[in-house]
Chains A and B, each alone.
Chain A
Amino acid sequence: MTVAATFEIRFTRYLQPDGREAADLPSFAADPRALVPDYRAMVFMRALDAKAVAMQRTGQIGTYASTLGKEAIDAGIGGVLRKEDVLLPSYRESGVLMLRGVSPHRTLLYWGGDERGNVFPESPRDFPFNVPIGTQLPHAAGVAYAMKLRREARVALAMCGDGATSKGDFYESLNAAGVWQLPMVVVAVNNHYAISVPRRMQSAAQTLAQKAIAAGIACEQLDGNDLIAVRDGVGRAVEKARTGGGPTLIEALTYRLSDHTTADDATRYRSAEEVAEQWKQEPILRLRSWLHAKGAWSQAEEQALAKEAAAHVQKMVQAYLETPPPGPEQMFEHLYARLPRQYAVQLAQLAEETERDVEHHAG
């Protein structure tokens, strides 16, 4: 027997959990102050997230999927994508969307049960939040195909979870991206759980990144709690795709510090010790320690930022609460480019019922 092929999976990390450097930094990190905007974004994300969880608890929004612990991934991706690129998020990507310019009150609308949460005026080509697991990945291949067909220097970047990598949609999309060398980047956010199912039960593969090898495309594993690693790895993949180098799968290692959603109780399937251990790895503390050590961030700035974030959160909550409730006719709006005339009967029924409700409440 001879060797038909050999492969290796690279892992990227620049910052250790305590913020010390683990390798020579990429050039974009030469001036630590250049990463302050990313740090600020991460702090904003966490503040918004904590508020959203609290709002679910008090009934102001419905079930919500927390972003706690993945801020470096979201900030890193948001930081390297260009406006003309297309993001295809899962439901857990409100952090990246914020950096795409989408006002975070949209996130509250979305989880508050209102379709207007998927209206992204500030980033109109991006795909909406995606709940059916993995189904956004074939869309990414289609988006990337369109970009390639038109010879555009744009990139489709899709995000999914570790659970999603078990779906046919995932393999099929990577495979197609390889066949056509599409300008597509998939970031698999490996937070080690798909609700209660741990990563090891999704796949016997040593890494999720290596799933790309079967599709013949580039791949890399990186520390998703290390902002510099995310920026570096995703940045390289995005530029490669943009310049005709083809697709990449990136596995970003992190940990879901929250429950799966507010409807979940993670204590049923994982220990407090495990979670406590993971808190030592979390991305914000890591980046802050590094910035502090570099003298690029002060205690005073930190305090000012906390205030600023709190004020921003308040503004977003306000914008959410001040959005007038959707009228029932929203159900029929944007259903077709032009609602077929056959819908008139149902519209009339809705109007009649709405009127009856109004009378009922008045009387």
Chain B
Amino acid sequence: MSNITLVEAINLALARAMEEDESVVVLGEDVGLNGGVFRATAGLQSRFGAERVADTPLAEGLIAGMAVGMAAEGLRPVAEIQFAGFAYATIDQLLNHAGRLRHRTQGRLSCPMVLRTPCGAGIHAPEHHSESPEAMFAHIPGIRVVYPSSPSRAYGLLLAAIQDPDPVVFLEPSRLYRRFKEEVDDDGTPLPLDKAFVVREGTDVTFVAWGAMLREALDAAEELAAEGRFAEVIDLATLKPIDFETVLASVKKTGRCVVITEAPRTCSLASEISANISEQALLSLLAPVERVTAFDCVTPMFRLEEKYMPDAARIAAAARKVMEYQ
């Protein structure tokens, strides 16, 4: 057991996977000697060599496309895209190839690749470095999308993503990279890729969140508890597929739900979750499902990012709204 940050947990899982499976290779910009701009791959090149931890030329389309080729040929590539804002160029490869290689070849070829990228605002980064594109990835058939929110879940989910036989987009909340530590047991145990986690139990309202927003949801739950209202908080963790069993069981218990995402509102995953709850738990609802999202704006530069992203106050306000609904 060691008490480590989320980015250290990523590093630990990568090292573990590389240790246990020779076919695991890491590729991306600055992942080698530099150890990644967030240090997620620190030390890996000196330990596993420059062939298995490769700095690529600067080209995201190349990185994603090479990962497809490597994976089809039996390697387990873990590609890093330096920031989610630069992953848009990978969507061609993910959508046209990674997600459909298995289907197009009717099972003859497959694509067990992982594409990792840091996501989200709140770190005072330059323009284009604070994006939340999770819904764009979740829209792609044939791939999985994972978004951990704590060191231990990052560790177990990344191991699972690397072992999974299909392509996985693995989103990492950069705001939580070093925000807090957690005990992580480096025992190589993967976590399921289709299970949400109830991280706080409650009776009055269900919060569904992922990534950095989970911390805001927990803070909001704390704020409400002081008012005698108890929120159940779910870390969705895997955004595709979504564990609706866990979400629906909670909503059936509480009768109210607030879904939180850092992404712009329109066509966000919050909308998807809300729609599913309406379809499957309408009669359990005591109030309409509330979506707490960012505005439908270009992710602003950092002077305004606090006003853009949902925070505990915005979540608590939505929770009060659903609780006072008649």
Task: Decide if B304 touches A132 in the complex (CB within 8 Å).
Answer: no
Which A residues lie within 8 Å of B29 (CB)?
194-195, 197
- Of A110-118, A179-187, A243-251, A272-280, the one with at least 4 CB within 8 A of chain B: A110-118
State A168–B61 Cα separation when bound (angstroms).
8
State A197–B37 Cα separation when bound (angstroms).
12
Task: Decide if A195 touches B37 in the complex (CB within 8 Å).
Answer: yes
**Is A346's CB within 8 Å of the partner chain B?**
yes
Task: Decide if A113 touches B124 in the complex (CB within 8 Å).
Answer: yes
Interface range for B = 35 or more
State A332–B302 Cα separation when bound (angstroms).
15
How many residues of A are counted as interface, with CB atoms below 8 angstroms from the partner's CB atoms? 46
Which A residues lie within 8 Å of B48 (CB)?
none
State A114–B298 Cα separation when bound (angstroms).
13
State A134–B58 Cα separation when bound (angstroms).
10
**Is A133's CB within 8 Å of the partner chain B?**
yes
Bitwise, B71-90 to A at CB < 8 A (1) or not (0) is: 00000000000000110000
**Is A32's CB within 8 Å of the partner chain B?**
no
Q: How many A-B residue pairs have CB under 8 A?
A: 109
Task: Decide if A166 touches B58 in the complex (CB within 8 Å).
Answer: yes
Known contacts A114-B301, A164-B58, A195-B34; A346/B125 CB under 8 A: no
Task: Decide if B304 touches A269 in the complex (CB within 8 Å).
Answer: no
Return the contact of A111 from the options B62, B126, B308 (Cβ within 8 A).
B126
- Of A19-27, A75-83, A292-300, A322-330, the one with at least 4 CB within 8 A of chain B: A322-330
Task: Decide if B124 touches A115 in the complex (CB within 8 Å).
Answer: no
Closest to B37 in A: A195
Closest to A349 in B: B295
Q: Shortest distance in angstroms between A116's beta carbon and chain B's nearest beta carbon?
A: 9
Which B residues lie within 8 Å of A326 (CB)?
303-304
**Is B211's CB within 8 Å of the partner chain A?**
no
Task: Decide if A62 touches B300 in the complex (CB within 8 Å).
Answer: no
Q: Shortest distance in angstroms between B42's beta carbon and chain A's nearest beta carbon?
A: 9
Which B residues lie within 8 Å of A354 (CB)?
307
Task: Decide if B296 touches A203 in the complex (CB within 8 Å).
Answer: no
Known contacts A163-B58, A203-B57, A350-B307; A113/B128 CB under 8 A: no
**Is B199's CB within 8 Å of the partner chain A?**
no
State A203–B265 Cα separation when bound (angstroms).
42
Task: Decide if A353 touches B313 in the complex (CB within 8 Å).
Answer: yes
Task: Decide if B126 touches A133 in the complex (CB within 8 Å).
Answer: no
Which B residues lie within 8 Å of A7 (CB)?
none
State A321–B221 Cα separation when bound (angstroms).
38
Return the contact of A63 from the options B126, B265, B314 (Cβ within 8 A).
B126
Which B residues lie within 8 Å of A349 (CB)?
295
Known contacts A132-B86, A196-B34; A346/B295 CB under 8 A: yes
**Is A331's CB within 8 Å of the partner chain B?**
yes
Task: Decide if B313 touches A356 in the complex (CB within 8 Å).
Answer: yes
Known contacts A62-B126, A350-B307; A132/B55 CB under 8 A: no
**Is B183's CB within 8 Å of the partner chain A?**
no
State A11–B141 Cα separation when bound (angstroms).
51
Residue among B32, B59, B128, B296 with max Cβ neighbours from chain A (10 Å) = B59
Closest to B299 in A: A331
Which A residues lie within 8 Å of B57 (CB)?
163, 166, 197, 201-203
**Is A263's CB within 8 Å of the partner chain B?**
yes
Task: Decide if A132 touches B125 in the complex (CB within 8 Å).
Answer: no
Closest to B36 in A: A196
**Is B142's CB within 8 Å of the partner chain A?**
no
Closest to A342 in B: B296
**Is B226's CB within 8 Å of the partner chain A?**
no
**Is A129's CB within 8 Å of the partner chain B?**
yes
Known contacts A133-B58, A197-B29; A325/B303 CB under 8 A: yes
State A326–B126 Cα separation when bound (angstroms).
16
State A116–B55 Cα separation when bound (angstroms).
35
Task: Decide if B298 touches A335 in the complex (CB within 8 Å).
Answer: yes
Return the contact of A335 from the options B30, B129, B297 (Cβ within 8 A).
B297
State A352–B61 Cα separation when bound (angstroms).
42
Bitwise, B274-308 to A at CB < 8 A (1) or not (0) is: 00000000000000000000011110111111011
Task: Decide if A331 touches B33 in the complex (CB within 8 Å).
Answer: no
Which A residues lie within 8 Å of B62 (CB)?
166, 168
**Is B186's CB within 8 Å of the partner chain A?**
no
Return the contact of B296 from the options A164, A196, A346 (Cβ within 8 A).
A346
State A356–B302 Cα separation when bound (angstroms).
21
Closest to A128 in B: B127
Return the contact of A196 from the options B55, B265, B297, B298 (Cβ within 8 A).
B55
Which A residues lie within 8 Å of B58 (CB)?
133-134, 163-164, 166-167, 194, 197, 202
Return the contact of B128 from the options A114, A131, A166 (Cβ within 8 A).
A131
Given contact pairs A163-B58, A168-B61, A331-B298, a sample of 9 additional A-B residue pairs in the complex whose CB atoms are under 8 Å apart: A63-B124, A63-B125, A114-B303, A129-B127, A166-B62, A196-B33, A197-B55, A269-B34, A354-B307
8 chain-A/chain-B pairs, Cβ below 8 angstroms? A132-B86, A134-B58, A166-B57, A168-B61, A194-B29, A197-B30, A197-B34, A356-B313
The 3 closest A-B pairs by CB, nearest first: A113-B302, A196-B34, A166-B57
Chain A contacts to B: CB under 8 angstroms: 62-63, 91, 110-115, 117, 129, 131-134, 163-164, 166-168, 194-197, 201-203, 261, 263-264, 268-269, 325-326, 328, 330-332, 335, 343, 346, 349-350, 353-354, 356
